[in-house]
Structure 1
Amino acid sequence: MAGYPKKDEKNGTYYFVLEAGKNANGSRKRIKRTGFKKISESKAAMAKLMLELKSGQLQKENKMYLGDYLDYWLENYVKTNTKPKTAAEYEKIIKTHLQPALKHIMLSELKSTHLQSYYKEKLIVLSAQSVTHHHRVLSKALNDAIDWEFIDRNVAKGAKPPKPTKREMNTYTVEQLNLLLKTAKEKTPVFFPIIYAAAHTGMRKSELIGLTWKNVDFKTEKIYIRQTITEANGKYFFNPIPKSEKPRGVKLTAELSKLMQKLKENHDNRRNILGETFNPHNLVFCNSKGNIMAPSEISRALKRALKSAGLPDIRFHDLRHSHATILLKANVHPKIVSARLGHSKIQVTMDTYSHLTDSIEAIAVDYLDELLE
């Protein structure tokens, strides 16, 4: 049953269309209502009609299961009002978590205590951050249910989701990082270049996965971030930076520049042999088949290298933190570090790495000791 209020550009009024099963000849039956002066009036009329059409599938008159409503919300709001990646993430949360646990509860009978029990159960297998995200998705869906006049209040506002804890930052010393890179080259050669690049640039995983050869300038030895590639619900999404933003340029280290030149030569040779079907997206870092590197595969490759090197466990994102920490401890100006990381403001950098203040200040004092009598 699809539909969502839309504006008629010709006369400025609102209308909606709902599917109402099939006609006797098997064709799809649609009901259209027009002439609403306000979108709120259109939403209310659509909600009322939708309840009437769904009445044969409900246990009680004018009531629906939460599971049915979430399907309706995905179809009539999420798919038409959110970006594809967001829609895929919402669908995964609903299909994998919310519906299996809560679909049997009537929408009108849903209580804050139902959600509280759900959060408690999910915390056994998920992080507080993930559970809080589930709460936000459900709260948004219930707010829309109020707009459509399915319910009178949002019970999610009375529930208490867990408070996310800040993830601990784990960083490597220069010696540890060099050991990791040496081991990764031996143990996971396909993923070594992207691990190496993360350590040498501080770029995010999504930025590295989305980097294309078009955005590598060997003359100036810079790479430019103009898009990211992210994954949600088994699908990949290409996310270009807004046209209003200037692409971030990251200066390459001498060793990374050499590595990327070798990668380019290998890439061109393989493309000459295999044709345009190899690496169709022209990615700098791709798997052996020329396809997008799956984020999970990159993380697993890193774990294999860490285990072989006997190093403490870290996340791929901690390579970015290690890069920043090494620079700040070397007394590189925070403004430069902030620019390499792509932080919107230098204050973000200072807040993120505030734990380094004492060690950086100690370096500054040692420098003063050498200069002043």
Structure 2
Amino acid sequence: MAGYPKKDEKNGTYYFVLEAGKNATGKRKRIKRTGFKKMNEAKAAMAKMLLDVKSGKMLKENNMFLGQYLDYWLENYAKTNTKPKTYAEYKKIINGHLQPSFQNILLSDLKSTHLQKYYNEKLNALSAQSVTHHHRVLSKALNDAIDWEFIDRNVAKGAKPPKPIKREMNTYTAEQLNFLLKTAKEKTPLFFPIIYAAAHTGMRKSELIGLTWTNVDFKTGKIYIRQTITEANGKYFFNPIPKNERPRGVKLTSELNKLLLNLKNDYENRQKILGETFNPHNLVFCNSKGNIMVPSEISRALKRAIKAAGLPDIRFHDLRHSHATILLKANVHPKIVSARLGHSKIQVTMDTYSHLTDSIEAIAVDYLDEMLE
């Protein structure tokens, strides 16, 4: 960022040049100060200006564009105060959407109407949930701009982001799920084990991708969830559970236990042949080269199996919903279902599957009809 004061041979005075970040188009911005009679004066002025640039004061004085400020916010807040995956997601939103749309608007000139227009335009290409996420990122950045005294108010508070539409939950019956798994084994054998495990445990995709063999206990017949693996901008992030949280244990079905034993034997045999470089992360579910499974490829494999089976379309996450629905309809106590899913409270489970209330109550009434005269 900093150069060193130099002497202007033409007039005998001293000057310096500082790097002051980038402008809205990504071009480097330089600040030059000249006319110092002595080297020490130039050094002192340069040191002060360097502090102003680092603190953001120079940005404020130069009335930056919103795009410039968002770069500053990423570097001075998001990079050091959020998880790597969160930072990567923020950067993707800012570089891919916010900066191109607001590159010619000064931070001080930004109005709620600018944001409202942005939200309306983005709805042509993105979901309401995605646009709402953009709003949250921008609102947080503008709140921090107030704390740093760049602006006096957050105009995002006056804008109205779209209300996300709650996605409809689509689930399979036990019969449909069994048929899907049979088809997946035939049509997509590489991804069959992770699809099978999702149906039998209700685990999230990120939990399954991050599962390691050290967290499969065949003696107790349990899987322990101690980390997830997530992807953003083509990079993978290993996310261990907080140290103050107990790992979630999920009891294996007997059939899943058999499948995992066969998978473990296959893994050990391949490692003997290929060496320690195969599957270096010790993952239960990996691709043919022993690398992390790409989340989108797992979803596409599921879609192929669904199409081949001629079943209604569902998302990978709906395997988790199907697992919970089958248990609740079988009159399994919601507390058990909640524990398997890893919900923080049983109320989360009850709220998520509140649509099952009538069918569960019908089961209870049938039981009462049998027991009471």
Q: CA deviation at 1:293?
A: 0.7
Equivalent in the alignment of 1:171: 171
Q: Select between 76-85 and 239-248 the one with higher mean Cα deviation.
A: 76-85
Equivalent in the alignment of 1:49: 58
Equivalent in the alignment of 2:361: 361
Q: CA deviation at 1:148?
A: 2.1
- Check if 1:200 corresponds to 2:182: no
Q: Is the alpha carbon distance of 1:32 and 1:182 closer, same or farther for their aligned partners in structure 2, counting shifts above 3 Å?
A: farther
**Aligned residue-pair number:** 338
In 2: Cα distance, 1:51 partner to 1:243 partner: 40
Q: CA deviation at 1:182?
A: 0.8
Equivalent in the alignment of 1:240: 240
SS in structure 2 at match of 1:268: helix
Equivalent in the alignment of 1:224: 224
Q: Is the alpha carbon distance of 1:357 and 1:22 closer, same or farther for their aligned partners in structure 2, counting shifts above 3 Å?
A: same
Equivalent in the alignment of 1:280: 280
Q: CA deviation at 1:147?
A: 2.0
In 2: Cα distance, 1:64 partner to 1:350 partner: 49
Q: CA deviation at 1:150?
A: 2.0
In 2: Cα distance, 1:245 partner to 1:76 partner: 29
Equivalent in the alignment of 1:138: 138
Q: CA deviation at 1:339?
A: 0.7
SS in structure 2 at match of 1:85: helix
Q: Which amino acid aligns with 1:48?
A: K
Give TM-score, length-normalised by structure 1: 0.86
1:313-363, Cα deviation, whole Å (9 max, x unpaired): 111110000000000101111111111111111111111111111111111
Supply the RMSD in Å over aligned alpha carbons: 2.3
Equivalent in the alignment of 1:341: 341
SS in structure 1 at match of 2:56: helix
Q: Which amino acid aligns with 1:322?
A: S
Q: Is the alpha carbon distance of 1:30 and 1:204 closer, same or farther for their aligned partners in structure 2, counting shifts above 3 Å?
A: farther
SS in structure 2 at match of 1:236: strand
Q: Which amino acid aligns with 1:49?
A: M
Q: Which amino acid aligns with 2:64?
A: M
In 2: Cα distance, 1:48 partner to 1:340 partner: 51
Q: CA deviation at 1:201?
A: 0.3
In 1: Cα distance, 2:118 partner to 2:58 partner: 31
SS in structure 2 at match of 1:230: strand
Equivalent in the alignment of 1:325: 325
Q: CA deviation at 1:32?
A: 6.1
Q: CA deviation at 1:48?
A: 2.5
Q: Is the alpha carbon distance of 1:101 and 1:72 closer, same or farther for their aligned partners in structure 2, counting shifts above 3 Å?
A: same
Equivalent in the alignment of 1:159: 159
In 2: Cα distance, 1:123 partner to 1:22 partner: 40
In 1: Cα distance, 2:128 partner to 2:234 partner: 23
SS in structure 2 at match of 1:223: strand
Alpha carbons 1:169, 1:321 under 8 Å: kept: yes
Question: Which segments of 5 or more consecutive residues in structure 1 lack a partner in the other structure?
Answer: 3-17, 35-41, 53-61
Alpha carbons 1:191, 1:298 under 8 Å: kept: yes
SS in structure 2 at match of 1:239: strand
Quick check: which has more Rg, 1 or 2?
2
Q: Which amino acid aligns with 1:252?
A: L
Q: CA deviation at 1:187?
A: 1.0
Q: Which amino acid aligns with 1:192?
A: F
SS in structure 2 at match of 1:135: helix
Question: Which segments of 5 or more consecutive residues in structure 2 lack a partner in the other structure?
Answer: 3-17, 21-29, 34-44
- Check if 1:258 corresponds to 2:268: no
Q: CA deviation at 1:216?
A: 0.3
Identity %: 83
Equivalent in the alignment of 2:24: none
Q: Is the alpha carbon distance of 1:87 and 1:362 closer, same or farther for their aligned partners in structure 2, counting shifts above 3 Å?
A: same
Q: CA deviation at 1:127?
A: 1.2
Q: CA deviation at 1:19?
A: 5.6
Equivalent in the alignment of 1:58: none
Equivalent in the alignment of 1:127: 127
Alpha carbons 2:146, 2:153 under 8 Å: kept: yes
Q: Is the alpha carbon distance of 1:31 and 1:341 closer, same or farther for their aligned partners in structure 2, counting shifts above 3 Å?
A: farther
Q: Is the alpha carbon distance of 1:45 and 1:215 closer, same or farther for their aligned partners in structure 2, counting shifts above 3 Å?
A: closer
Q: Is the alpha carbon distance of 1:143 and 1:30 closer, same or farther for their aligned partners in structure 2, counting shifts above 3 Å?
A: farther
Q: CA deviation at 1:149?
A: 2.2
Q: CA deviation at 1:68?
A: 1.4
Give TM-score, length-normalised by structure 2: 0.86
